[in-house]
Amino acid sequence: MENRITDLEIRLAHQEVALEEMNNALLAQNKLITKLQDELQRLQQQLQEINTAGAVNQGEEPPPPHY
């Protein structure tokens, strides 16, 4: 009976370490996802600004001769 309790305590200790490692990995991934979402939002805004500026410039040009 004593050996079984010792084995369970050892397993519990290993599981606690594994859980802590997984928690740290999850926190790191969450931080990375937040950073990537911010970057994506910034790039989408830049793209929208470029498209808006391009639409204004295209409207000022006359159509090509084949129209």
Q: pLDDT digits over 21-55, tens only?
A: 999 999 999 999 999 999 999 999 999 999 888 76
pLDDT for residue 67? 63
pLDDT for residue 42? 98
Residue 19: pLDDT band with limits 50, 70, 90 = very high
Residue 6 has pLDDT above 80, yes or no: yes
Q: How far apart are CA 25 and CA 19, in angstroms?
A: 10
pLDDT for residue 55? 67
Residue with tokens 């006359």: 62
Q: How far apart are CA 49 and CA 57, in angstroms?
A: 12
The CA R_g of the chain, rounded to the nearest whole Å, is 29
Q: Provide the token pair at 60.
A: 């000022």
pLDDT for residue 58? 59
